[in-house]
Chains A and B, each alone.
Chain A
Amino acid sequence: MEVTKLESAGAMPEIEVIFGSPEFGKYQLTLWDNTGHNPVQIGSGVNKDNLPDKFSIGNLGTLNGRLLSWEVIIAAFNTEPGSSYSVTIKITQDSEVAENGEFEYTGSIDGVALVADSVELQVQ
């Protein structure tokens, strides 16, 4: 599992979901304990609205060792061959991308595409 490093002296970290292709997208963001249990949803949304897809992850003091996960559903409006998707997850602190805090997923869509991934947060 990837490890994203956060500065203990920094501001409260945030996570942002960016859909880079004009297809339908829906996501949820979850914080887990360091064993991968006891989930707490910290955000969810779709790309059909104008609402920001950026959420606070939580207080730095409680984040060290915890797991942060995201699941994304992308649905193509058309099903012609060659349709592709792009989703980027950014974990930021003080408006800067945290170390090892950017994750990009691209590929072709077979009607729908699913993304599921997670990182361990390390506060240093």
Chain B
Amino acid sequence: MIKRSLLSLFWAGCLWLTSFSQSFPSRNTSLLSAAQQSVAVNTEASLIVISNALPKVTSFSDGTSSFVEIIVSREPDLQFAHLGQGFELQRVEKANGNWVIVIKLQPQTRLRLEQDSTSDHHVVKLLFVVAGSVGNGAREIAPALVRENQNPIPPPQANVALGAAGERLATPPRPAGQTGSMPVRNSATEGELKEATLDLSVPESPAFTVLGLTPQTVVRPTSPRELVAALLNGVDANGNLQTGVALETAPFLLWHHKNFTLEKYRNDRLAQILTRTQISLATAKGTGENDKSVRVGLGIHTTLLDKGDPRLDTDLTDCFDKYLNFPKRNDGESLQEYQARFKAQFKEYKTLAENCRQEAKKRNWNRTSLVLGFAPSWISPKGELNDLGWNGGALWTSFAYGFEQSESLRKIAQLIVHLRYRSDEMVPKPEMQNQFFKQDSLFIGGRLRLGGPDFAASIEGSTIRSKPEGKVSDMSYRISFGAERRIASDTWFQVSFGGEGGRADSKNKPFVLASFKYAFSKTPTLAPPGTN
């Protein structure tokens, strides 16, 4: 059965590959016209969002249905094909200065995502494929396929309440959270996303995550004075909490940004921890439309151990020193001319430095580390500072082991163990709008990952225990194996299978997923960063 399924998908993939050049927009043609042409020949239901601002795409679930939300700061041009086949347009509205488009996926619909940009336009193309049909090779909107430098699908930090669905690759860490009016988000759509890799990362901004936010603007003070000003902006003169506050800072560097040298950092273990400790603070309005309550989240993210700390990587320092050189002076050149020429090399320096950092990532991708995140939250029913009450919290921790002692494994293997606990989380009631219940949950997951330039594999497992208020607790588990192999320079063949059990909703099932992937970047999905 499995073999037959794989062969079918392999054949479908081959067919797709042969027609690839016709269906994929050329990089050299106008992006706008390429997108329009693609719709004209495409019989799949689709939505194209074109804007001269970069759209942000997130997906989430309310427990029964899956949604996609697109936020863009400029008025977008929307183009539909076969509206109603696989998706419904829920709303298009302008909110807080942004255009928000929300789409509801119909059952059994898979979502695929294409994105591209020119200097003038950004295009997001959503393709809605009824399960069982073969897509045209666009990127599937699954956490496993979310890649660095692409528009982020936020990590499903809230998914503990809803099961293990949709957890994404743990690396690289990225600012976390969700956005919009719904308080609890699951970044996964249903179905295929359950086969995605687990999210074993600690959110970099736990305060945003615990409140379910993806702030459009985050204040990052660069001085103690700016920090105090930002905090004061969070409360008005009458003690009323202001919503929409999103603040993040590394307090140690804030106070020591003029006298904390690289040498001091390298020789002081405590200072290393303090430097890599970030505080985040956020406020958000209550969950209902007429709800006057204000929620406040405070987050701490700290790296207690990191054998791949780039500041301790002398090879990285040497690389900077080797490639970041001052231009040679020309005969007769004046001081002004020379300094102008030096400043004009900014982009070149930036590229060279980034190359050094990427090389360092390749060296250090799997080094042993221990990261901790903690986020208590409070709620004020009247939105006042003096009536804040406890509103639950969250704890995340990830330990990665890099097999540094093993010559054969230290460059290709990583073992990650992750734990997160969430208390008093507000979870949407299935099929009931703006209705929530409280839940505590504990997630424990682990992954062993092996990666090379042309092959990557991972095995992972997780268990979730959730305890809704006033109900008995539920415990489920999940185990999966995934592998992918490069079959052409930009094409990877992926296969994953596994199963889950113990779910109270009796939706336990094994799964097998095989696919070809053409990625915008030439990197594998499962492989660790830097191994290609």
Q: Write the chain A residue with the least CB distance to B262.
A: A22
User: A8 an interface residue at 8 Å Cβ cutoff?
Assistant: no
- What CA separation (Å) do A112 and B265 show in the bound complex? 19
- What CA separation (Å) do A118 and B343 show in the bound complex? 14
User: A20 an interface residue at 8 Å Cβ cutoff?
Assistant: yes
Whether B261 lies near A36 (C-beta < 8 A) is no
Other 10 A-B pairs with CB < 8 A, given A21-B260, A116-B343? A20-B258, A21-B258, A32-B335, A37-B334, A73-B326, A77-B313, A78-B310, A82-B249, A84-B222, A114-B349
User: B311 an interface residue at 8 Å Cβ cutoff?
Assistant: yes
On chain B, the residues within 8 Å of A18 by CB distance are 261
On chain A, the residues within 8 Å of B220 by CB distance are 81-82
Whether A48 lies near B310 (C-beta < 8 A) is no
User: A23 an interface residue at 8 Å Cβ cutoff?
Assistant: yes
**Interface bits A38-67 vs B (CB < 8 Å: 1, else 0):** 010000001110100000000000000001
Whether A48 lies near B317 (C-beta < 8 A) is yes
User: A12 an interface residue at 8 Å Cβ cutoff?
Assistant: no
Given contacts A82-B249, A108-B222, contact A77 B346 (CB under 8 A): no
User: B320 an interface residue at 8 Å Cβ cutoff?
Assistant: yes
Whether B343 lies near A39 (C-beta < 8 A) is no
**Interface bits A106-119 vs B (CB < 8 Å: 1, else 0):** 11101110101010
On chain A, the residues within 8 Å of B313 by CB distance are 77
On chain A, the residues within 8 Å of B349 by CB distance are 73, 75, 112, 114
Q: Which residues of chain B in 369-391 are interfacial with respect to chain A, using CB atoms and an 8 Å cutoff?
A: none
On chain A, the residues within 8 Å of B253 by CB distance are 21, 84
A33 to chain B, nearest CB (A): 10
Q: Write the chain A residue with the least CB distance to B275.
A: A22
User: B250 an interface residue at 8 Å Cβ cutoff?
Assistant: yes
Q: Write the chain A residue with the least CB distance to B314.
A: A48
On chain B, the residues within 8 Å of A122 by CB distance are none
B370 to chain A, nearest CB (A): 18
Q: Write the chain A residue with the least CB distance to B327.
A: A71
22 contacts between A and B (CB under 8 A): A20-B258, A26-B321, A37-B333, A39-B338, A47-B263, A48-B317, A50-B263, A73-B326, A75-B349, A76-B353, A77-B357, A78-B310, A80-B204, A81-B220, A82-B222, A82-B250, A88-B258, A106-B257, A106-B258, A107-B222, A112-B324, A112-B353
Whether A19 lies near B222 (C-beta < 8 A) is no
User: B18 an interface residue at 8 Å Cβ cutoff?
Assistant: no
- What CA separation (Å) do A96 and B350 show in the bound complex? 36
- Interface residues of B, count at CB 8 A: 47
- Interface residues of A, count at CB 8 A: 45
Residue B257 contacts which of A75, A81, A86 (CB distance < 8 angstroms)? A86
Q: Which residues of chain B in 275-320 are interfacial with respect to chain A, using CB atoms and an 8 Å cutoff?
A: 275, 310-311, 313-314, 316-318, 320
Whether B257 lies near A21 (C-beta < 8 A) is yes
On chain B, the residues within 8 Å of A81 by CB distance are 218, 220
Q: Which residues of chain B in 330-365 are interfacial with respect to chain A, using CB atoms and an 8 Å cutoff?
A: 332-336, 338-339, 342-343, 345-346, 349-350, 353-354, 356-357
A36 to chain B, nearest CB (A): 4
Whether A26 lies near B339 (C-beta < 8 A) is no
User: A93 an interface residue at 8 Å Cβ cutoff?
Assistant: no
User: A79 an interface residue at 8 Å Cβ cutoff?
Assistant: yes
Given contacts A82-B250, A112-B349, contact A47 B261 (CB under 8 A): yes
Whether A114 lies near B265 (C-beta < 8 A) is no
Interface secondary structure of B, over-half rule: helix
On chain A, the residues within 8 Å of B324 by CB distance are 24, 26, 73, 75, 112
- The 9 A-B residue pairs with the shortest CB-CB distance, nearest first, are A36-B335, A22-B265, A82-B220, A20-B258, A77-B310, A116-B339, A75-B353, A111-B350, A24-B320
Whether A71 lies near B249 (C-beta < 8 A) is no
On chain A, the residues within 8 Å of B335 by CB distance are 30, 32, 36-37, 39, 67, 69, 118
B208 to chain A, nearest CB (A): 13
B239 to chain A, nearest CB (A): 29
On chain B, the residues within 8 Å of A110 by CB distance are 350
User: B406 an interface residue at 8 Å Cβ cutoff?
Assistant: no
On chain B, the residues within 8 Å of A107 by CB distance are 222
Q: Write the chain A residue with the least CB distance to B324.
A: A73
- What CA separation (Å) do A25 and B336 show in the bound complex? 22
Whether B262 lies near A36 (C-beta < 8 A) is no
On chain A, the residues within 8 Å of B354 by CB distance are 79, 111
On chain A, the residues within 8 Å of B121 by CB distance are none
- What CA separation (Å) do A30 and B327 show in the bound complex? 13
Given contacts A37-B332, A75-B320, A79-B357, contact A20 B261 (CB under 8 A): yes
Given contacts A36-B336, A71-B339, contact A22 B320 (CB under 8 A): no
- What CA separation (Å) do A69 and B332 show in the bound complex? 16
Residue A19 contacts which of B261, B314, B321, B339 (CB distance < 8 angstroms)? B261
Q: Which residues of chain B in 205-257 are interfacial with respect to chain A, using CB atoms and an 8 Å cutoff?
A: 218, 220, 222, 248-250, 253, 257
A53 to chain B, nearest CB (A): 10
- What CA separation (Å) do A76 and B320 show in the bound complex? 10
Given contacts A46-B321, A48-B317, A71-B326, contact A86 B258 (CB under 8 A): yes
On chain B, the residues within 8 Å of A37 by CB distance are 332-335
On chain A, the residues within 8 Å of B222 by CB distance are 82, 84, 106-108
Q: Which residues of chain A in 69-103 are interfacial with respect to chain B, using CB atoms and an 8 Å cutoff?
A: 69, 71, 73, 75-82, 84, 86, 88
On chain A, the residues within 8 Å of B91 by CB distance are none
On chain A, the residues within 8 Å of B265 by CB distance are 22
Residue B343 contacts which of A21, A106, A114 (CB distance < 8 angstroms)? A114
B124 to chain A, nearest CB (A): 23
- What CA separation (Å) do A84 and B258 show in the bound complex? 10
On chain A, the residues within 8 Å of B259 by CB distance are 20
- What CA separation (Å) do A82 and B226 show in the bound complex? 13
On chain B, the residues within 8 Å of A84 by CB distance are 222, 253, 257
User: B264 an interface residue at 8 Å Cβ cutoff?
Assistant: yes
B281 to chain A, nearest CB (A): 14
Whether B338 lies near A77 (C-beta < 8 A) is no
